[in-house]
Structure 1
Amino acid sequence: MKTNPYIDGKKICFIVCTNDEKKYNKCLQFIRKINIPNGYKKENLIVYGAHSITSGYNAAMKKTNAKYKIYLHHDVYIINSNIIYDILNLFKTHPKLGLLGIAGAKLLPTNCIWGAGTGKYGKIYHYFPKEDKVLFTDFSNGAKMAFDYEDVEAIDGVLMITQYDIFWREDIFKGWHYYDLSQCMEFKKNGYKVGIPNVDEPWCIHETGMNLTGYKEAQKIFIKEYGKFLGLY
């Protein structure tokens, strides 16, 4: 898949697939509060009615010429107003770091569910709207990172940040699950690292809720496609 050949290295694009105007508008309120480094510009791209998250993300990736892309769910609210400064610092310090997330695992288990993996890292606030409650989660259970980011095998898709463009596998992932782990594998197959930043406080709040339709099917596709690459068989 061809992306825009005229990449703007001073541009950051926030990309959201949504079918919920209310949630997206709330997400956008937080994006608007983010500080923009001098000389940089920000772009917001919204994809309505995508058949799958992979097709939606590919469409947005082709549309923008921004070097840096922040893919996020419409129920994710970024509270780190200096997130752009932080990601630029990491990406410029580590040119081989292609993909950043806010939670993930160093090693996937045989069922390829990252939450059951070994060496989990990341911090996030979960918001439960029915109870109107916010809970803090530290996936590493207090373990400290030795460096400015942790190299991991997989990250969660709530927030995915890239400095390079790689095709989202819409050819095999036609729903809303395992696109995130698939993209991690694609970056690794292309020689890039996947990481989780070393942070004191979470970068975002995630409004908790999950639709598991198609999850098992996507899991089987993922294991079939990447199991050998992961050394599972």
Structure 2
Amino acid sequence: MSKINPLSVVISTREINQDYIKHVSKMFSHPKTEVIVYQNNEEFSLPQLYNKGLLESKNEIVVFMHDDLIIETPNLTPKILRLFEDNSEYGIIGVAGTNNLINGMWWQDRESMQGQVSHEHQGKRHTNKYSNTFGENLKEVVVIDGLFMCVHKGRIKHNFNEEFQGFHFYDLPICLENYLDGVKIGVTTKIKLVHKSIGVVNKKWEKNKLLFEALYEKKLPIRI
């Protein structure tokens, strides 16, 4: 890679935390990394806010991440740029996903899950090893989990689907719609993260799950 260009990072949060912004900037390492933090107390759905991030970000590659992630891999910018440079058919890259999407619960088929993510809950930390590591390679999947999404704006054919309200199902529709139109979706194990929360399934999630399955029922299940 002859030249390291910056990328953009987009975060939605209820309260802006300058210490966390410093952590993100430090771990991405490039001095011109653009960190866009939107304070959002449910004024916008996550698809709406992420589309705003796609529009307002200056760089071609945008990383969408939760505001409760501890980044453990340093010097992220060249690592992410290298993944896209070496894998020119890929438009979306994450750290966890599946190559067998049965329904709106992407983790339904445990054997088809890919990637590794650590979680911290009630003072205890554990790593979910959904698969083995891939080294420098990507593992092709149908969809990724949205806790950490790297998006190449020049390669995707669909943005986030704003039919989905709230903070659930912002990730699966954009992945599935792009995958069906020939954009490759990948998982990397080069990026180590700790998620300081666990996924919560509630009534809003159930509502969006039903919408997802209604919109894409003719496409599901889909397996690589």
Give, in angstroms, the shift of residue 27 of structure 1: 3.5
Measured in 2, the distance between the counterparts of 1:29 and 1:180 equals 26
* 2:208 aligned partner: 218
SS in 2 for 1:151: strand
* Pair 52,146 (structure 1): closer, same or farther in 2 beyond 3 Å: same
Residue identity matched to 1:163: H
Give yes or no for the alignment of 1:188 onto 2:179.
yes
* Pair 76,146 (structure 1): closer, same or farther in 2 beyond 3 Å: closer
Measured in 1, the distance between the counterparts of 2:215 and 2:66 equals 25
* 1:6 aligned partner: none
Measured in 1, the distance between the counterparts of 2:181 and 2:21 equals 32
Measured in 1, the distance between the counterparts of 2:18 and 2:203 equals 25
Q: Is the 8 A contact 1:70 1:160 kept in 2?
A: yes
Deviation by residue 1:100-141 (Cα, 9 ceiling, x = unmatched): 1111111012x331112241111111011xx3221111112x
Deviation by residue 1:51-99 (Cα, 9 ceiling, x = unmatched): 2000111112111121010000111122211222221111011111000
Residue identity matched to 1:82: N
* Pair 138,20 (structure 1): closer, same or farther in 2 beyond 3 Å: same
Give yes or no for the alignment of 1:139 onto 2:134.
no
Q: How high is the sequence identity, in percent, across the aligned residues? A: 23
Q: Which runs of 5+ in 2 are unaligned?
A: none
* 2:220 aligned partner: 230
User: If the length of structure 1 is used for normalisation, what is the TM-score?
Assistant: 0.82
Alignment of 1:28-177 (within 5 A): 28-36=21-29, 41-49=32-40, 50-109=43-102, 111-117=103-109, 118-128=111-121, 131-140=122-131, 143=132, 145=134, 148-164=137-153, 166-170=158-162, 172-177=163-168
User: If the length of structure 2 is used for normalisation, what is the TM-score?
Assistant: 0.85
Further displaced range: 144-153 or 72-81:
144-153
Residue identity matched to 1:179: Y
Q: How many residues align?
A: 212
Measured in 2, the distance between the counterparts of 1:25 and 1:137 equals 29
Further displaced range: 96-105 or 78-87:
78-87
Q: Which runs of 5+ in 1 are unaligned?
A: 1-8
Deviation by residue 1:138-185 (Cα, 9 ceiling, x = unmatched): 112xx3548701000111110000112542111x11111111111111
Q: Is the 8 A contact 1:10 1:67 kept in 2?
A: no
